[in-house]
């Protein structure tokens, strides 16, 4: 697994398209939100900005890059060749998505640290960390499911748009309007509960125990995505 991850990390830094779409664009967009934090905080709160930053990086930097990478490796029959080695299926997939996952987490943490320096620190750091990790797991699982519907790396630009735009739209909706109205619907949508966790973690004022159901809903999407991935994922090129 580590050998696969090391090889994949090298490929990421050699691929200019991946570097731009997976690293530069999410950081640039997130940097804009941090720079304009006063304006966006007036719309929602600092917690809303933190949630948007998190989903921007995880949707475009992690989710989209992971789908594109796996689709590319499948198209070149690299996935098929890996299955002939001693590495198991889980180890292969973990090795392939581990580098981009770690990079995305480093980006999220670094940008949120900057946000805390220029504004205020999060009220509940532990809850924020749990929310980030749970959301990362959700986006990785959704990536594996989306690969099953993706024919090629080029096709990934189309298949990843619905989920990417949906989670950011949900985060914006929840971050700006809260969950006082249509709370059940907002929390049931992918990213809704995670956004509320981040908002609670940054702004404070909500007991930690009240965020546990939000964590359960986010992890529920992980389970749903994994089930979809098991049914849809293909190791050989789709015909």
pLDDT at 19: 63
**pLDDT at position 30 over 80:** no
Per this entry, what is the length of the chain?
Answer: 239
Token representation of residue 208: 């930690």
| pLDDT higher than 80, residue 29 | no
Mean per-residue pLDDT of the chain = 86
Residue 12 and residue 10: Cα distance in Å, rounded? 5
Helix axes 89-118, 125-147, angle to 10 degrees: 140
pLDDT of the residue at 115: 87
The percentage of the chain sitting over the pLDDT mark of 90, rounded to a whole number, equals: 41
Buried b / exposed e across 115-128, counting CB within 10 Å, b at 16+? bbeebeebbbeebb
**Where does the pLDDT of residue 233 fall: very low under 50, low under 70, confident under 90, or very high at 90 and above?**
confident
Confidence tier at 38 by pLDDT (50, 70, 90): low
Domain ranges, ordered by start, for the chain:
2-232
Res 15 pLDDT > 80 = no
Two tokens, residue 137: 């797991």
Q: Which of 158, 2, 10, 223 is nearest to 91 (CA)?
A: 2
Give CA–CA dist 93/112, Å, rounded: 28
Report in angstroms the alpha-carbon separations of 207 from 116, 174, 204. Answer: 21, 19, 8
> Rounded CA gap, 199 and 201, in Å?
5
Query: pLDDT at residue 129 above 90?
Result: yes
135-193 pLDDT per residue, tens: 999 999 999 999 988 888 888 889 999 999 999 999 999 999 988 888 899 999 999 99
CA neighbor of 152 nearest in space, from 229, 73, 89, 93: 73
């Amino acid at each position: 697994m580590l050998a696969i991850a090391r090889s994949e990390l090298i490929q990421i830094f050699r691929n200019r398209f991946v570097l731009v779409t997976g690293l530069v664009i999410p950081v640039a967009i997130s940097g804009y939100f941090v720079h304009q934090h006063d304006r966006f905080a007036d719309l929602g709160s600092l917690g809303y900005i933190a949630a948007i930053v998190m989903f921007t990086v995880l949707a475009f930097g992690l989710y989209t890059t992971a789908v594109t990478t796996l689709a590319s490796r499948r198209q070149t029959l690299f996935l098929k060749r890996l299955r002939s080695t001693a590495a198991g299926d889980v180890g292969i997939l973990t090795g392939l998505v581990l580098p981009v996952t770690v990079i995305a987490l480093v980006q999220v943490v670094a940008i949120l640290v900057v946000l805390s320096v220029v504004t205020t620190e999060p009220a509940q750091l532990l809850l924020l960390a749990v929310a980030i990790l749970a959301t990362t797991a959700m986006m990785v699982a959704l990536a594996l499911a989306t690969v099953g519907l993706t024919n090629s790396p080029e096709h990934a630009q189309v298949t990843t748009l619905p989920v990417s735009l949906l989670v950011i739209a949900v985060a914006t909706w929840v971050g700006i309007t809260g969950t006082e109205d249509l709370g059940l619907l907002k929390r049931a949508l992918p990213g809704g509960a995670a956004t509320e966790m981040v908002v609670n973690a940054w702004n404070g004022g909500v007991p930690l125990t009240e965020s546990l159901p939000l964590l359960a809903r986010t992890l529920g999407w992980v389970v749903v995505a994994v089930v979809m991935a098991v049914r849809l994922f293909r190791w050989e090129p789709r015909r």
